[in-house]
Homo-oligomer: A and B are copies of this chain.
């Protein structure tokens, strides 16, 4: 897969080899995800769910910078009412729910830093392999919103303590080593080569096992999450209100001025 980092609006690309689907996303602003890219990711995951030739999915991002900076700040700046707010925050709800309901195991390749929704992606994968330096941050509270939509996915993987620690101390990075100790990353590698070797070994094994067994394990890993379709939408609605507060409007105003 050639990395096409000229794409101004970013892209979502896919490739299939030996029953392994690779989904790659890219956006020039630190791999943040505007609505069209989110829609493409959901589409690819949903298609793979129904494709019997795909046994396992790798989710990766392009470039040598961040893995994913979360939702698109440019879009955040355009929100004017609660409905738009809820729609905006529903983006990551839809990816997390697509990943959750897809009967194939999803391996995430996290080559760099994760912020906000990016942490949500790393958490919603079934097995996440990262590169040293792939530090994490949930910066939402510092601008008067909260990591609400991704909360259930993050807490499910790293537990209540680590999730609340990340969410409350919203300006501090936690190291990739911290993320591994807390269970966000199942593997952590010193070089891209060893990371990719580990992913190749694991996905090859998963591509060869019984798809029925993998699908049963997927159900078991996501037991008691049927209510997330509703829950994540409720969380998006709360975030959609918070983003209109005078505190957040002031944060965003300052941010816009800096940008101009």
Given the known interface contacts A161-B157, A184-B161, A220-B151, the answer about A247 and B144 at a Cβ–Cβ threshold of 8 Å is no
Q: Number of residues in A with C-beta < 8 Å to the partner? A: 48
Complex CA gap A165/B162 in Å reads 18
Given the known interface contacts A159-B183, A209-B141, the answer about A217 and B168 at a Cβ–Cβ threshold of 8 Å is yes
Say yes or no: is A238 at the interface (Cβ < 8 Å to chain B). Answer: yes
Say yes or no: is A158 at the interface (Cβ < 8 Å to chain B). Answer: yes
Contact with B along A141-152 (1 / 0, CB 8 A): 110111010010
Complex CA gap A248/B202 in Å reads 19
Say yes or no: is A214 at the interface (Cβ < 8 Å to chain B). Answer: yes
User: Smallest distance from the beta carbon of A180 to chain B beta carbons, Å?
Assistant: 10
Residue of B nearest to A183 (CB): B161
Q: Which residues of the other chain, B, contact A212 by a CB distance below 8 angstroms?
A: 144, 242, 245, 247
Say yes or no: is A54 at the interface (Cβ < 8 Å to chain B). Answer: no
Max chain B C-beta neighbours (<10 A), residue from A157, A169, A209? A209
Given the known interface contacts A161-B184, A165-B127, the answer about A216 and B202 at a Cβ–Cβ threshold of 8 Å is no
Residues A148 and B183 in contact, CB atoms below 8 Å apart = no
Complex CA gap A186/B220 in Å reads 26
Q: Which residues of the other chain, B, contact A161 by a CB distance below 8 angstroms?
A: 157-158, 182-184, 186
Copies of this chain per assembly: 3
Residues B220 and A146 in contact, CB atoms below 8 Å apart = yes
Residue of B nearest to A127 (CB): B168
Chain A residues numbered 199-252 whose CB sits less than 8 Å from any CB in chain B:
202, 205-206, 209-210, 212-214, 216-217, 220-221, 235, 238, 242, 245, 247-248
Residue of B nearest to A129 (CB): B169
Contact with B along A114-144 (1 / 0, CB 8 A): 0000000000001100000000000011101
Residue of B nearest to A151 (CB): B220
Chain A contact residues, CB within 8 Å of chain B: 105, 126-127, 140-142, 144-146, 148, 151, 156-162, 164-165, 167-171, 181-184, 186, 202, 205-206, 209-210, 212-214, 216-217, 220-221, 235, 238, 242, 245, 247-248
Jot down 7 A-B pairs with beta carbons below 8 A, ordered by A: A105-B168, A141-B213, A142-B209, A146-B217, A148-B220, A167-B217, A210-B247
